Amino acid sequence: MTSATTITRPALVSRVMTRLDWRSNIIYIAFVIVFILFAIFLGSDGFLSTNNMLNIVRQTATISIMAVAMTFVIAAAEIDLSVGSIAGLASVVTAMTTTQFGLVPGIVAGILAGAIIGAINGGLVALLKVPSFLVTLGMLGLAAGLAQWITSSAPQPITDRIYVMIFGGGDFGPVPGMLVWTVVAVALGWLVMNRTGFGRKVLATGGNPTAAAYTGIRTARIKFSVLLISGIAAAIAGMLYAGRLESGRFQWGQGDELTVIAAVILGGTSLFGGRGAIIGTLFGSLFMGLINNGLILAGLEVAQQQVVRGAIIIAAVALSRKK
């Protein structure tokens, strides 16, 4: 009964290993091991350089932001498969609007695109009780198709310098903007998950929906909220793609949903709801970026990268599963 009390406190590694539920913290172990292996074998290829480290952060920022929001979705025992498509759609909406109407309308339109799709997802799940898996699977195709349709498959360049600076192109001195976005998202996510009533309600809804409802929690509203948040976060990620790559394209974010979900699960959030580990999610996301980066430095082809990445994800998730 007492063993559960020390989980969040730092302790000696041996104590951590024996007393903690190490399976739910597999991500930290995996992260350190892979990092050390890459440092040894790829050190001469520039793996450890500051620039490369910052690159990993830059490349994973969009995944991290979507994954923080996805942590809430999965903690509430729902899923959002449409995040990658929403990011693509938001990137073209924001790019087109910025070009036509200027900076502020462009930003508003981008976020609105994600909010609308998120609200539709949430509304269908909360009101019509359609499983989120099906709703967002449909939305994955719908949003991607929409993005391709309204742009006639053409890239939408962004020439607004301020936009590019805000959304990931710029640096704050030595600190890349993408790092700032990541830190803000993670800090906000952690605070909301662990220190607000909303976070508790999300965990309760995912942990035992009947008990949550008996306690007076409006679980339908919670489900709506997490999917709305996920849509908005995906839109911001799409805008970061647009800013960093100075254009909106329907392909941005394609397939990200799998990376995002893998990052969240690797981070220790239960796929069955009730648990949400924001810091774990950050490391899950960085882990995905780390592997990408290492495999590229190691000179693997894209096809080989996919195979290795898939195998590593399966292994880590299998290890993190409780008996």
Partner 1 sequence: MAENELPPAVRMRSIVKSFGPVEVLKAVDMDIVAGEVHALAGENGAGKSTLMKVLQGVHQITSGTIQVNGEPVTIRNTADAERAGIGMVFQEFSLIPSMTVAQNIFLNREIRGTAGLVDDRAAENAARKIFDGLGVKIDPKARVSDLGTAYWQLVEIAKALSKEASVIVMDEPTASLAKHEVENLFDLIETLKKRGIAIVYISHRMDEIRRVADRITVLRDGRVVLASAVATLTAAEIIEAIIGRRLASDLVYRDRQLSGDAPILLEAKNIASNRVLKSVSLTIRAGEIVGLAGLMGSGRTEFARVVAGMDRPTQGTLSIDGKMVRFATPIAAQQAGVALIPEDRREQGLVLEHSVADNLTLPVLDRMKAGGFLSMRKLRDATEDLVTRFAVKASDPYAPISQLSGGNQQKVVVAKWINTNPRILVMDEPTSGVDIGTKTEILDIVRDFASRGNAVLFISSELPELLAVADSIVVIRQGRSDLPLVRTDIVSEEQLQLTIQGDAA
Q: Which chain residues interact with partner 1 by CB under 8 A?
A: 1-5, 7, 191, 194-197, 199-201, 203-204, 206-208, 210-217, 270, 274-275
DSSP, res 9: S
Say which residues have a Cβ less than 8 Å from residue 298's Cβ, sequence separation at least 6.
Answer: 41, 42, 45
What residues pair up with 248 in beta bridges, in sequence order? 156
Nearer to partner 1, 197 or 299 (CB): 197
Q: Which is nearer to partner 1, 3 or 153 (CB)?
A: 3
Q: How far is the CB of 307 from partner 1 (least distance, A)?
A: 34
For the chain, the C-alpha Rg in angstroms (whole number) is 20
**What kind and span of H or E run contains 157?**
strand 156-157
Residue number, 176 or 276, with CB nearest to partner 1? 276
In the complex with partner 1, the residue whose CB is nearer, 215 or 304, is 215
Q: How far is the CB of 201 from partner 1 (least distance, A)?
A: 7
Q: Which is nearer to partner 1, 196 or 304 (CB)?
A: 196
Q: What angle do CA 85, 89, 95 make, to 5 degrees?
A: 145
Tokens (6 digits) for 297: 């430095």
Residues with Cβ within 8 Å of 2's Cβ and at least 6 positions away in sequence, in order, are none
Q: How far is the CB of 199 from partner 1 (least distance, A)?
A: 8
Q: How far is the CB of 200 from partner 1 (least distance, A)?
A: 6
DSSP for 60-97 reads HHHHHHHHHHHHHHHHTT-----HHHHHHHHHHHHHHH
| Structure token digits, residue 196 | 């607000």
Query: Do 231 and 118 contact (CB within 8 A), yes or no?
Result: yes
Nearest approach, Cβ of residue 85 and partner 1 (Å): 30
If the CB atoms of residues 114 and 206 are measured against partner 1, the closer one turns out to be: 206
User: Which amino acid, 22?
Assistant: W
Shortest reach from residue 198's CB to partner 1, in Å: 10
Residue type, 221: R
Run of H or E including 291: helix 278-297
Residue nearer to partner 1 on the CB measure, 118 or 274: 274
CB of 232 vs partner 1, minimal distance in Å? 22
